Amino acid sequence: MFGNVITASITPFDENLKINYKEFEKLIKHLEENSDSILVFGTTGESPTLTLEEKIQIAKFAKETTKLPVIVNISSNNTEKSLKEMEELEKTNVDGFLITTPYYNKPPQDALYDYFSLLASKTTKPIIIYNIPSRTGVDLEPKTIAELSKIKNIVGLKQSHSDITKISEILHLNPNFTIYSGDDILTLPALSLGAKGVVSVCSHIAGKMIKRMITLFPTNPDESKKIHYQLYRLFKVLFITTNPIPVKYALTLLGLDVNNLRPPLRKANKEEMEKIKEVVQELLTQVTK
């Protein structure tokens, strides 16, 4: 439905930290060449610092600017707030929702099931569940995911989990469920377990290579593995500090003026910039040879 490569887009800000729609348009046109779908205001899009009105405007802008499917993120630990955001974002005619597990208050598994099933009942649009325990403090267990996968419009899972064996557990319970790796560096091993693709940060820089790695895997896993190792340093360096600090600086190396972040985040420091620049320039040199 959403392809193999969903780019989790950054949100460009100007020097006054207002949304920079001029650069956003350039970014979307760049991502169209590197992605199958675009996710706006996820973690990479600095969603905690955006107001609902800004999210609505971003969703509308993205839909008007690209023909690719546009997915929007709902991330809250307040069910009423999540319902309100879904109601308002539904009006923008986006193509789907990525819904994050509620953070900090650590609901038990039955409460997590109730949360996702309630939100799914309020829309007919497809939903991808987002499980990222390192940020939320709660882990959606495979049995709960398998139960949620029975709901008609819950169509997939973004799994950002260091324990990759959980993909096996989920697909053992429901072999037909669509799983996306939520970590670029784990995409190749996730594919070997049955995942379909990735919700990617690195596709801002190397989307075509990532897509090729994924599409080659079923018929030519050796070539797919070769691309993985070509991209390995990029996968590492774009997470040397908190996402999206590195990728915003990396995009300036491609000519996009997007290196402003809202507090409490900051720009990449000098040491980080040097490491990112070395890796990105080396990769670009390889690609153009």
Catalytically active residues are: 130, 158
Written as six digits, the tokens of 70 are 């546009």
Ranges of H-type helices in 162-260: 165-173, 187-193, 203-216, 221-237, 245-252
Quote the CA–CA distance of 137 and 283 in Å, as a whole number. Answer: 35
SS3 129: strand
Two structure tokens written together for 135: 């940020």
List beta partners, residue 158. Answer: 130, 180
Q: How many helices (H) and strands (E) does the chain have?
A: 12, 8
Spatial contact of 225 and 238, defined as CB atoms under 8 Å apart: no
Q: Provide the residue type at 234 as one letter.
A: L
| Beta carbons of 199 and 181 less than 8 angstroms apart | yes
